[in-house]
């Protein structure tokens, strides 16, 4: 059978995967809804992507995870599941409403004791962690303002050890990464930020990286994944 409208169907396949693999965690999906009801944008990772983040934390054996961009705490919750009871997630967010919704959601999901939300511009929060001599993180998920991806990558390196895994969200953006950034008007700096982040991953002697395109509930997008050498 010839398949048309791959994008619509890939969203249906995500629904199927959620069912057949039993991916949804009721407390986390309730938090997603609570965030939407509070007016937060619907840009959190999909359920399957959230489970992917949990698995990455588990596979790397991460006990310390750093996240840049909390929103309503949906990806944060999956990462918090991944680090286990004795692990810790530090997540950076500069919108007070987002941080407070995230704190409520984490509380209701029973995960708040493993998560610390740093309120403020993420660059400053990462600089503070470096200045305070924070122990290295084993997994770092970068998912905030894409224009600052290179800054976040450079700061993330300083908070890493050999073997730390870096994951960047939204590196494809429906193919926008191919375009001249100037075509994207207000998002020009973000498109450029994604492109510069990818070139940084190529050029940095301290990482080995790839990127994977994804389709599904969030349309056509992708993750970059790197290992700190
Ligand atoms: N990781 C979340 C989605 C994050 S959306 C999930 O998948 O569930 C991006 C978030 O980054 C938004 O909440 C936005 O307010 C925050 N953000 C954007 N720029 C920021 C900055 N400079 N410092 C800190 N947070 C920022
Ligand atoms: C946007 C941001 C995200 O982190 C995401 O996963 C999807 C969309 C955005 O800013 O539009
Ligand atoms: Mg994202």
* Domain ranges (residues) in the chain: 2-228
From the CA of 71, give the closest atom in ligand 2. 4
Which of 32, 43, 69 has the most ligand 2 atoms within 8 A of CB, as the residue to mutate?
A: 43
Res 165 pLDDT > 50: yes
Average pLDDT, the chain: 96
Which of 35, 49, 170, 185 has most ligand 2 atoms within 8 Å of its beta carbon, as the pocket-test mutant? 170
In this structure, which ligand is nearest to the CA of 144? 1
| Ligand 2 contact via 43 beta carbon (within 6 Å) | yes
pLDDT at 27 over 80: yes
Number of helices (H), then strands (E), in the chain = 8, 7
Which H, E and C letters describe 100-153, residue by residue?
HHHHHHHHHCCCHHHEEEEECCHHHHHHHHHHCCCCCCCEEEECCCHHHHHHHH
Q: Which residues pair with 132 in a beta bridge?
A: none
Q: Residue 181: pLDDT band by 50, 70, 90 thresholds?
A: confident
Atom of ligand 2 nearest to the CA of 44: 6
pLDDT band at 5 (very low <50, low <70, confident <90, very high): low
Confidence of residue 26 (pLDDT cuts 50, 70, 90): very high
pTM of structure: 0.96
Burial 161-184 (b: 16+ CB within 10 A, else e): eeebbbbbbbbbbeebbeeebeee
Write the residue with the smallest CA distance to atom 10 of ligand 1. Answer: 69
Map tokens 């698995």 to a residue: 55
Instruction: Flag whether pLDDT at 218 surpasses 50.
Output: yes
Bridge-partner residues for 41, per DSSP? none
Nearest bound ligand to CA 49?
1
Given a cut of 70, whether residue 195 has pLDDT beyond it is yes
Q: How far is the CA of 4 from the centre of ligand 3 (A)?
A: 27
CA 143–ligand 1 middle distance (angstroms): 6
Q: Is the pLDDT of residue 182 over 90?
A: no
The CATH number given to 2-228 is 3.40.50.150
Residue-wise pLDDT tens digits, 100-133: 999 999 999 999 999 999 999 999 999 999 999 9
Ligand nearest to the CA of 69: 1
- What is the C-alpha end-to-end distance of the chain, expressed in Å? 46
Q: pLDDT class for 1, splitting at 50, 70, 90? A: very low
CA proximity to 126, closest of 146, 106, 151: 151
Mean pLDDT over 7-32 rounds to 95
Mean of pLDDT values over 87-98: 98
């Amino acid at each position: 059978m010839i398949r048309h409208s791959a994008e619509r169907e890939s969203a249906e396949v995500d629904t199927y995967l959620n069912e057949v693999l039993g991916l949804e965690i009721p407390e986390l999906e309730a938090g997603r809804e609570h965030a939407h009801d509070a007016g937060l944008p619907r840009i959190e990772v999909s359920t399957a992507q959230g489970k992917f983040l949990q698995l990455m934390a588990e596979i790397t054996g991460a006990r310390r995870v750093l996240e840049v961009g909390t929103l309503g705490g949906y990806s944060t919750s999956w990462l918090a599941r991944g680090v286990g009871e004795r692990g810790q997630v530090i997540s950076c967010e500069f919108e007070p409403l987002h941080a407070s919704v995230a704190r409520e959601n984490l509380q209701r999901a029973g995960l708040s004791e493993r998560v610390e939300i740093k309120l403020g511009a993420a660059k400053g929060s990462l600089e503070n962690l470096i200045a305070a001599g924070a122990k290295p993180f084993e997994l770092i998920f970068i998912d905030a303002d894409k224009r600052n991806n290179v800054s976040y990558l450079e700061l993330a390196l300083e908070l890493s050890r050999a073997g730390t895994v870096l994951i960047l969200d939204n590196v494809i953006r429906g193919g926008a990464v191919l375009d001249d950034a100037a075509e994207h008007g207000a998002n020009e700096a973000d498109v450029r930020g994604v492109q510069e982040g990818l070139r940084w991953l190529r050029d940095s002697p301290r990482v080995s990286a790839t990127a994977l395109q994804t389709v599904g509930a969030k349309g056509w997008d992708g993750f970059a994944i790197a290992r700190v050498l």
